Each structure stands twice: as C-alpha cells, then as structure tokens.
Amino acid sequence: MYDKVKYLPAGDSALTMEFGNEISVQINKRIRNTVTAIENNPPEGLRELIPTYRSIQVIYDPMLSDFEKMVQGLEEVMGSVGEGGEDNYRIVEIPTCYGGDYGADIEFVAKHNDLTVEEVIRIHSSTDYLLYMLGFTPGFGYLGGMSEKIATPRLEVPRTIIPAGSVGIAASQTGIYPIDSPGGWQLIGRTPIKLYDPLAEVPVLLNAGDYVRFKPISEDKYKEIQRLINENKYEVNIIHNGEVRLDVL
C-alpha cells in the first residue's frame, strides 16, 4: 500500500487514483472506503467511479473540471476517509450444482490436484470469497481467497460459449459467468441465480466489497430454484452485517 495516493491522468476526462501495486485485502478495503466518501461528497464535475483491485478510475465532465481541479477536490475528500468499514458488508449465498452437465471440468480439476471430486467441492464451498471488483462482462466478479489446493490452469483452447451462471476456476481464481460468453476457465459447477438482469431494477446482484458463499445443491434443487426464479418467487439468501435477509429475484 502506498503511503500517499498517486494521481495519474487518463485522457481529458478521467484520472486514476492508485493505492498500491499488489492485490491486497487492506488496499481494497481502503478503496471501498474512499469510494463511499467520494460518493457522499462528490467534487464538482464527477461523473462516475470505477473501483478495481488497487485503484479507482475517476471519470469527470471536462466542461466542469480538469485534472488539477479534480485532484484538489479528491484530496479534500481523502481527509475524511477512515480505516473503518468492517461492519458494513454482505455475504451473498450462491446455490451451485457441481459437476455433471453443470461442471464439465471438475474431474480434471480434481485429477490435476490429486483430489477427489467431493474434496474439490468441499474446498471450493468452504470459503467466503471477497469480491474485489467487477469487470470483463456486466456483473462478472473477481473473487479472492480461493485455496491453492484446487488451483488449476486455464483451458489451452477457450470455449466459444459458456452458459450464464457457470462457476469456474482459472489458476488461483474462481468466478461466475453472469451471461453467456466465451471463456477459458475450468468449469466446476453452475448456479441458477441471475447475476445480471438488464431488465431488473438493480441489474447487477453483486457489488465490490461483497462476500460470495457457494452452497452445494443437487440437480433437482437447481431446477426447483430455476423455476422459482422464472416465477419471480425465489429469495436470495443475503447476510447484511451478520443479519440474514431474503431478497426476492
């Protein structure tokens, strides 16, 4: 983590606030706290904030601000950024059907790591994963904290289409494909939950700073949840600051 935030120009209407040069829970926490502080007291001309692993992209209106003015405004806000934030979190439970038609590569992942399929499922579903940032496709979350015991290289030849909801592994990362898309991750399961719905009031289910908890389910349970979602009756299990709430999809 840098002692002082670096401000880097990124064209005539954006700049980058860089907080460090590594993937770190502490750096990411500082970024989330900074985003909250800026949103609560935005400098003139601010249009959008895009948090990443170790930086924030700040997009502004060049008719109302410029690099120097925006840096000055951001520096004023930075004085109010604290080190707190631990009490403001969500754990989103993602029901996942592992293996079979839903996770074609789980046996390869197991063989690569000298494990059984059951051990891969147990290890993968025993961690709450911090969502560092969103990117690649709408709603795709980059999750941190996966055990090296199940780390597996990407596919040598990426698939041209991967179904929405697919849960994959690439090296020491895991993630969920929110829409049908190409991809090279090893597929170990699938969730019926919609991570991205452009017609929903809140299109993206997960936010940077959330924790994701994978819950193994059977194929029958998968189909039941899928039916409830199609009928707008399924309730996602979300823990807000230790308190369980059910959010309807």
Confidence tier at 245 by pLDDT (50, 70, 90): low
Instruction: Say what the pTM is.
Output: 0.83
| CA 48/CA 46 separation, integer angstroms | 6
Amino acid 82: pLDDT: 61
**Average pLDDT, whole number, for the chain?**
92
Domains of the chain: 6-78 (3.30.1360.40), 90-248 (2.40.100.10)
Amino acid 28: pLDDT: 87
Tens digits of residue pLDDT in 20-52: 998 888 898 899 889 989 999 999 999 999 998
Question: What is the percent of the chain with per-residue pLDDT over 90, rounded to a whole number?
Answer: 76
Nearest CA-CA partner of 125 in 185, 187, 189: 189
* pLDDT of 115 higher than 90: yes
Tens digits of residue pLDDT in 147-186: 999 999 999 999 999 999 999 999 999 999 999 999 999 9
Q: What does the longest C-alpha to C-alpha distance in the chain come to? A: 59
Pairing state between β 90-98 and 211-216 = parallel
